[in-house]
Amino acid sequence: MRVVVLGVTTGLGGRLASCLLACGDTPVGLVQRDSDVERMRAARIEPFLLDTDGSDLDVQLERAVRGADAVVLAAGTGTGPGSLGAAASSPTAQLCAAAEGCGVRRFVMVSAHLPGARDRATLGDQLDAYLAEKRAAEQVVRERDLDWCVLRPGMLTDGPPLGTVRARPDSVPTAGDELSRGDCADAVRTVLAQAIEGVWCVTTGSTPIEHAFRV
């Protein structure tokens, strides 16, 4: 699979790219800085440099997505500095539109209902707005003509991946639920490979990831 990833420079996105490479897939990383291009190439990730200050961002995204098998949103959905939200519409809406325009059906969004302590401290008074944006982004995905899947992980950690999770359809993680970024990345690759659709809560559990989304 050729998979376009927004958020490839994040802890989750980097692990997802490694997971895709290990499975023989081609990750395409959307980046915003020249310094990221060589770093992506060194990691065997195909970089696509976006000019987020340009007026043709929608055209750039279509060019990046064209020919892909899937698109993954593994980054923030907001309008803070350095995000695609600096453009007229949200990154979720822009990516969905690009996928639709290029006939790319598979779209996976990693949502967030339990930000980690560092994220909560960074967001401060903006935490409620961030969570509201995540919910709004989910709704954007639901309304598009795509084969979409929304993953709601427990609080992401840098703990070692277990290879097992608990996946519940149409559910929300609760206080105390966690998930390692490695297992979250594996879950994203699994829902892509198995063409899983709908909304899923994914947390630490005992079911092998390749079987966790079978209900």
pLDDT in tens, the chain (215 residues): 999 999 999 999 999 999 999 999 999 999 999 999 999 999 999 999 999 888 899 999 999 999 999 999 998 544 333 344 333 347 899 999 999 999 999 999 999 776 666 666 666 787 777 778 878 889 999 999 999 999 999 999 999 999 999 999 999 998 889 999 999 999 999 999 999 999 999 999 999 999 999 87
Question: What's the CATH number where 119 sits?
Answer: 3.40.50.720
H or E element, residue 210: helix 209-212
Structural domain of 167: 2-212
Tell me which long-range contacts 60-65 makes (C-beta under 8 A, separation of at least 24). Answer: 61/30, 61/94, 61/95, 61/97, 61/98, 62/98, 62/101, 62/102, 64/4, 64/28, 64/30, 64/98, 65/4, 65/95, 65/98, 65/99, 65/101, 65/102, 65/104
Total domain count, the chain: 1
Q: Report the pLDDT value the prediction gives residue 204, as an integer from 0 to 100.
A: 97
